[in-house]
Structure 1
Amino acid sequence: MRALTLITLLLISSLLPLFGQNDTIYFNRRGKSVKPGKKYEYKEATDATGVVTRITKDNTYTTKFKYQSGEIHGKYTEYSHKDSVELIGEYKEGLRVGEWQGFDLDKNLLYTESYLEGKIVLRKASDYSLSLYDSAETKNSNVTGDPQAWINFQRANFKIPAAVYKSGDEGALIYEFLVTTDGKACNINWINKNTAHPLFAQEVLMKTLQFQDFLITYKEGKRIVVRLETRLSFSMNKGK
């Protein structure tokens, strides 16, 4: 009996390391887990402390964070090429909260962002980014390398609040902003929003901050910060 017990204990102890390991899990573009060998967009592995390392299929980005009750919770760090920190912030029950910071590959702070219940409400250029601003390179209208991408983004993401439809407002919303060296809008300034419904203006502000592919401008082989001006025309029919 003792021999059998000893053998059983030895067998269990030999299996513990296997059960203690955290296998890599693969996910498709919809965030659904797939079997190893299947087409995937990113993979995740969890260490003994609960830190999850997520790596994209092309190895472009690596992120580190923790889950709590199935949601990302706590400190979040995103790394790009050469393990440089590109983005750092905090999640609360799956939603971004508080201040976030974005960096370039040389560890220069590019901007700070503010989030409220998962929604971005502000992005401000850092002193470093402002030092790269070249007013002579101001652009109008052509806000992206592919103008259609901006139009498609508006159509897919701009949701007009019901109150705006009922107001029957029409006119133009004109605003300007700086574009950082990684193609993000910051320091948004309204040129004309008096004729726009405030809810529509807020929607435009938030969605502009969410767009990630504004035109990156180069001068003498180096990325610079530029000011862009854009205009959105709108016409609403009054609801019955």
Structure 2
Amino acid sequence: MKNTLPTLLLLFLCLTVDAQKIDTVFLDKNSTELISIEGANKYKVKHYDKRGKRLLKEELYSKANVLLQEINYKKDKKDGHYYYKSLQNGTETIGTFSKGVKVGTWYTNNLSGFNLYYDEFDNSGNEIGRFSKKEVPGYVGTLKGIEVKIQSSPRYPGGPPAWGNFLMNNLKYPKEAQQRGEEAIVIIRFLVNKDGSLEDFKVINQETPATLQKAALDVVRKSNRWVPATINGHPIDSTMDIRIVFRL
């Protein structure tokens, strides 16, 4: 880490001098700004317009370069994709702002990408409600008036480690997207049938670059068969949301 932060600092300073649009702030564990990298626990990268006056995006990273938060701005208000990772709670939150307020569906997942619950907001930022995903392990609800318990969620065979290996071997970062500097977290929703087959693939966050959407869809389709969710030991059809991260 001693070599990483100075390298990053040099990179960001060079970008700042050349384009006047990126600034880097180092923070201690209490999020207090530091004047040097000494004692830095995390760092924040701020992206400005070409004149260096209006904030466009803000990213927060751990000292190990793990993305903890991403906020996009438009006309000085939060607008567009939002991402937050809590290492302490083991969760991540993904949603969309519009003119400074939360809109649409906001997902809270565990760090393996499995959805725990989601919140719905109207176009004015009013919360419609919080809904538990029925494929979450331990969820208790009713089915035709009978109390049931979901005992397992759909999963890739072999669990998160196997899924990570699959992505490493099969996910292709489009060259044209790399050349354009495109980055995104693409959220794919699909149906895991009770026989493990997959169908009904769609991108949830349509504001992401089209080339990255296609790459994410291609790799999820290629994953072929999953282990289905079960109710009391019996396989069922269930939806699955999973995120594919593209970072340069």
TM-score bucket (shorter structure): 0.3 to 0.5
Give the TM-score of the pair, scaled to structure 1: 0.37
Higher-RCO chain (CA-CA 8 Å, sequence separation at least 6) = 1
Q: Which has the higher helix share?
A: 1
Give the TM-score of the pair, scaled to structure 2: 0.36
Q: Which has the higher strand share?
A: 2
